[in-house]
Amino acid sequence: MAPIKQSPSSYGRNPLLKKKRFRLDGRKKMSSYGAIGAENDDIDTLLSGDRPGIRRVASSSRILTTSASEPARTRADSRGERRPYLYTGGLGLSRDGSTQSLTTEDEHRDHAMAIRYRLFNRLDPGGHTLRMPDHVVPPDLFSVLPFDDFKDNSGKQNSLVTIFSIWNTMMGTSLLAMPWAMQQAGLALGIFLMISIAGLSLYTAYRVVQSPKHLPLGVDSTMAEFSDVCKYLFGKPGEIISVSFSIAVLLGGVMVYWVLMSNFLYYTGNVVYEALQPNSTTIPIMENKTFTCDVYCPENFNEKLWPEEYNSLLEETSGAWSFDKFWKLQGTVPIYLAFLTFPLMNFKSPTFFTKFNVLGTISVLYLLIFTASKLFECGINMDFKNPTSEHYVKLFSWKFPALTGTLTLSYFIHNAVLTILRNQKNPENNARDLSIGYLLACFCYVFIGFTFFAAFPVQRSCISDNFLNNFGSGDVLSSTARLFLLFQMITVLPLLMYLIRSQIFYYVFGKPWPGFTAVLVLNACVVGIAVLVAIFYPHVGSILRYVGSLSGLVYVFALPCMRQLFPYLIIQRGIGSYVERVRLFDHWQLHDEALTGRFPRGAFLLMVDKKPLIKKINNDVHLITHSFKDLRSKLGEYGLGVTLENSCLVDVIDSSQSHQTDEGYPMALFGTSFETITPPEDSPISHDDIRNKLAKSLGGRFIDLRMAMLTLLHEKERNWLARMQSLSRFARTYRQCSKCATVLRIRTSKSGAECIPCKKVYYPTYSPVTICLISDPTNEHALLVRHRGSANGIYTCVAGFATAGEPLNETCRREIAEEVGIETMEISQLGLSQPWPMPDSSLMIGFKAMADRSQKIKIAPDELENAQWFTRDQVAEALKRTEKDPFLKGISKSPDDRQTLRYIPPHGAIAYSLIQKWVLKEI
């Protein structure tokens, strides 16, 4: 038989499926799966366009178009921050995601703000001019292209911009130290370490990118920082460690910047001063150069760059005033620099300085050209054989830790990579773009390190940790580089200070700008530290390697790897503690985006026409789970599908309970269900044959829902089935708000449906049912009943629904009186309960009652056929027979045996547990 294909554009072609579509006037058509209401549902097309219920909402980073049926999504950390603006008409969301009512003042304010932002969006569609403020660290800080023209209307950037933003962020002052660091490790080992550490850093950076996924963080996973992940995994200490070492890296960067800027300002000042001297036609130090191929050796470096005779000459010509006295590299210049740059650090927003980010790219390209020109000028000066030669090159050196520490800081992007990739237009390209960015950075580091190292014309021990120091102030290319880098670093320094204060103040005060005084004090402390380092320890290479070694060990290697190992520890502990499992399940229930990400990686149960797919193993009945890929493939052969619309969240399971491991993560268990229609009598299609073939292809068979509930071996699987049926039925039923008739926004998990205009959330409901075992005062006889329409010889306990305002004990007493016409005493709850999906969704609660056998039994004929007292031996015999024949295949069809006690409900029913406990004298 040819498979029946389901056409996405034509409903009703497949005779196997019932289709339901919901109209705005409240009428229903048949639906394809019977569990509708998630995103991308058919009803979304009915809500598109300019119709009531559609509104545009401004967020902090983009413009969203949402319908009235969409939920108010929040992202909140432990302080309730990090929320985009979304007016919900008075529906507030607490930190834990629960709804709370807003005050009248708040509602009026929010309503006014909603109107204002809506107007702004129309004035500036897709732009950034009128957008809301960014959270803490805006992604623009790291963009290589700071102009909005390079982004689409939604504010997203393409892969090319993302790649160069990653590359530009990594390209820093470490470039100037690469030749020195390579000399410390040796040529061959140096190149190997540059490439290998790039690969390791790329892997850990990617792990940081993936780290927020699948975790129930206190913020939206798309807006989470790595510190949020560390806080969830390791508690408050984890957050403190991650923030501390992130700040340590930034402080190290400020110190290196200060040393280099002092150096560049010092030598630039020298050149300017000399050029302003009377009758100056040349720069004096260029007249007495003692270097080869325009390269200095750092021996007597300061004396050669600024000979003592010029100091004495200046003193003679200027009297008491001396330029050298007021212009000292390790004295006055770092202080002058502080006065020059300190006002720039106190701006509330560093947006202006982001416009100069492109200078970083230009400076890197200039250094590449600069070192290439020196290689062309000086040639390759390397000797691998003669250790006494000044050109001798070591391939290996035990000082290589200087290079590894420097490289760790050079490739450090881990505290910014989430922010950079947040504006990625195609997140599926994150791995590729990150890899290309690291490849470009690695190329630049290797190129500059090797080129300068190979061209250096004297012994390699002369290479400075800032290779520009190997050139005199009169060298045109190096002087230009110093001046250009000085300006570029002055524009980047306020961004570094902004990042430092944002992380410190957000952690301490919960906001990045607690006040001008606090910012002033913090900036003064950081600048003071940087000035002291520039005066007393101006060693760029040492600062880089020590900061890189310490911070890199923790932030680059340890924390990302611990995050990666965390899921495996969860699996070993059985998805962690019960609290962890419950919180993860609650997170997936409430956050559609998180659950959608788990959907292709989940395990799936299947139910067709209220018939679950099961398999028998040694006479034991079990539910079958399938992976998304397998189930989609098999259903596709019959024109069916597994989608978010016809699936609901059932549980969080250990990956060992499924056919896939999914990298050790806890797995979401979904239930997929749909209903079919019976073809016309003259149709050649056999309804049962198709369903049986489908079941066979999936390795099981479909059985009736009631029989599955009665015969499934494990209680957990019975609960899964009950929840699956309950949620599927809820999603099919609750389509409109009962108050305003607005189409409800049903959660992806099917755990609730929201009406935003009414500020009301609908939840799946349970109907409480009491089920009671009745015994006599001697506890040797039990009163069991037979329901109308039940199979021959099956007796059970009295059960009934609770009514409004009725305590459960009273429900039990009333139901016994209604059904068997006797009064009871000593009613007690037994602590037993069971979800039961028939007829709708019930919760059955077990009770035991006592009654006098002398009372005359008067059954309710519309509900019961018989009610009778049985001895313990009679009930025990029926219990034994049921245990041997759980499928009740031995039921007699003779009318004479109809009222004889032969069976009780199978072990899947709560009645079985009640009767068994009574037989065993446990109750």
Q: At what angle do helices 187-210 and 430-455 cross, to 10 degrees?
A: 160
Mean pLDDT of 649-667: 67
pLDDT score of 658: 56
Closest CA to 204 of 552, 561, 562, 565: 561
Q: At what angle do helices 401-410 and 187-210 cross, to 10 degrees?
A: 40
For residue 807, pLDDT over 60 is answered with yes
Task: Count the neighbouring beta carbons within 10 Å of the beta carbon of residue 149.
Answer: 5
| CA-based R_g, the chain, Å | 38
User: Two tokens at 247?
Assistant: 């700040």
> Which residue's structure tokens are 């603006």?
85
pLDDT score of 168: 79
pLDDT band at 29 (very low <50, low <70, confident <90, very high): very low
The H or E element that residue 366 is part of is helix 358-378
For residue 20, pLDDT over 60 is answered with no
Mean pLDDT of 682-698: 85
Q: Tell me if 842 sits within 8 A of 836, measured CB to CB.
A: yes
Rounded CA gap, 795 and 801, in Å? 19
Rounded CA gap, 737 and 759, in Å? 10
Count the alpha carbons within 13 Å of 652 in the hemisphere toward its beta carbon.
25
Rounded CA gap, 783 and 776, in Å? 8
Adjacent-strand bridge partners of 864 = 787
Mean pLDDT of 146-150: 46
DSSP assignment string, 95-157: TTS-EEEPPHHHHHHHHHHHHHHHHHHHHSTT-STTPPPPPSS-GGGG-S--SGGGB-TTS-B
Rounded CA gap, 640 and 645, in Å? 12
Most confident of 161-175, 268-282, 410-424, 852-866: 852-866
User: Two tokens at 417?
Assistant: 């990579």
Output the furthest CA–CA distance in the chain (Å, rounded): 134
Which is more confident, 160 or 8?
160
pLDDT score of 568: 57
Q: At what angle do helices 687-697 and 628-636 cross, to 10 degrees?
A: 150
pLDDT score of 61: 32
Q: Tell me if 59 sits within 8 A of 697, measured CB to CB.
A: no
Residue-wise pLDDT for 228-276, tens only, equals 888 877 878 888 888 888 888 889 889 998 999 998 899 888 888 877 7
The H or E element that residue 620 is part of is strand 620-623
Q: Tell me if 548 sits within 8 A of 405, measured CB to CB.
A: yes
Predicted TM-score of the model (pTM): 0.57
Total H helices, total E strands in the chain: 29, 20
Residue-wise pLDDT for 192-225, tens only, equals 999 999 999 999 999 898 888 766 665 666 677 7
Mean pLDDT of 123-127: 45
Buried b (16+ CB within 10 A) or exposed e, 444-474: bbbbbbbbbbbbbbbebebbbbbbbbbbbbb
Ranking 124-138, 196-210, 613-627, 788-802 by mean pLDDT, the lowest is 124-138
Q: Is 677 exposed, middle or buried (0-12, 13-18, 19+ CB in 10 A)?
A: middle
Ranking 113-117, 427-431, 531-535, 855-859 by mean pLDDT, the lowest is 113-117
User: Two tokens at 840?
Assistant: 């709708």
Task: Count the neighbouring beta carbons within 10 Å of the beta carbon of residue 129.
Answer: 8
Single-letter residue type at 90: G
Which is more confident, 393 or 308?
393
Rounded CA gap, 482 and 268, in Å? 7
Q: What percent of the chain has pLDDT over 70?
A: 74
Adjacent-strand bridge partners of 100 = 92
The average confidence (pLDDT) of the chain is 77
pLDDT band at 111 (very low <50, low <70, confident <90, very high): low
Adjacent-strand bridge partners of 214 = none
> Which residue's structure tokens are 């597994």?
642
Residue-wise pLDDT for 824-865, tens only, equals 988 999 989 999 988 888 999 999 999 999 999 999 989 999
Q: Tell me if 87 sits within 8 A of 98, measured CB to CB.
A: no
For residue 595, pLDDT over 50 is answered with yes
For residue 31, pLDDT over 50 is answered with no
Buried b (16+ CB within 10 A) or exposed e, 593-612: ebbeebbebbbbbbbbbbbb
User: Two tokens at 860?
Assistant: 């309710």
603-608 and 667-674 beta bridge pairing: parallel
| Alpha carbon 758 to chain centroid, angstroms | 31
Rounded CA gap, 353 and 343, in Å? 13
User: Two tokens at 446?
Assistant: 């290797």
pLDDT score of 279: 61
pLDDT band at 22 (very low <50, low <70, confident <90, very high): very low
Which is more confident, 298 or 414?
414
pLDDT band at 801 (very low <50, low <70, confident <90, very high): very high
For residue 113, pLDDT over 70 is answered with no
Which is more confident, 202 or 893?
202
> Which residue's structure tokens are 């320890």?
537
User: Two tokens at 201?
Assistant: 């850093």
For residue 911, pLDDT over 70 is answered with yes
Q: Tell me if 94 sits within 8 A of 86, measured CB to CB.
A: no
pLDDT score of 88: 36
Q: Tell me if 852 sits within 8 A of 764, measured CB to CB.
A: no
Ranking 36-40, 347-351, 356-360, 393-397 by mean pLDDT, the lowest is 36-40
Q: Is 308 exposed, middle or buried (0-12, 13-18, 19+ CB in 10 A)?
A: exposed
pLDDT band at 758 (very low <50, low <70, confident <90, very high): confident
Hey, what long-range contacts does 284-289 have (CB within 8 A, 24 or more apart)? Answer: 284/310, 285/472, 285/473, 285/474, 286/472, 286/474, 289/472
Task: Count the neighbouring beta carbons within 10 Å of the beta carbon of residue 36.
Answer: 21
Rounded CA gap, 73 and 93, in Å? 9
Residue-wise pLDDT for 461-494, tens only, equals 889 888 888 887 667 888 888 888 888 888 888 8
Which is more confident, 528 or 43?
528
pLDDT score of 778: 92
Q: How far apart are the first and last CA of the chain?
A: 56
Task: Count the neighbouring beta carbons within 10 Å of the beta carbon of residue 728.
Answer: 26
Which is more confident, 421 or 906?
906
Single-letter residue type at 584: L
Question: CB-based contacts of 25: which residues, under 8 Å, 6+ apart?
Answer: none
Question: CB-based contacts of 650: which residues, under 8 Å, 6+ apart?
Answer: 605, 669, 670, 671, 720, 723, 724, 727
For residue 304, pLDDT over 60 is answered with no
753-755 and 798-801 beta bridge pairing: unpaired
For residue 634, pLDDT over 70 is answered with yes
Q: Tell me if 724 sits within 8 A of 605, measured CB to CB.
A: yes
Which is more confident, 845 or 129?
845
User: Two tokens at 41?
Assistant: 């549902």
For residue 66, pLDDT over 80 is answered with no
φ, ψ dihedrals at 439, nearest 5°: -65, -40
pLDDT score of 656: 59
User: Two tokens at 706?
Assistant: 């009631």
Mean pLDDT of 748-764: 90
For residue 53, pLDDT over 50 is answered with no
Rounded CA gap, 298 and 762, in Å? 76
For residue 287, pLDDT over 60 is answered with no
For residue 144, pLDDT over 60 is answered with no
753-755 and 745-746 beta bridge pairing: antiparallel
Single-letter residue type at 638: Y
Mean pLDDT of 707-722: 91
For residue 46, pLDDT over 50 is answered with no
In the 3-class helix/strand/coil scheme, how is 521-552 assigned residue by residue? HHHHHHHHHHHHHHHHCCCHHHHHHHHHHHHH
What letter would DSSP give residue 909?
Answer: S
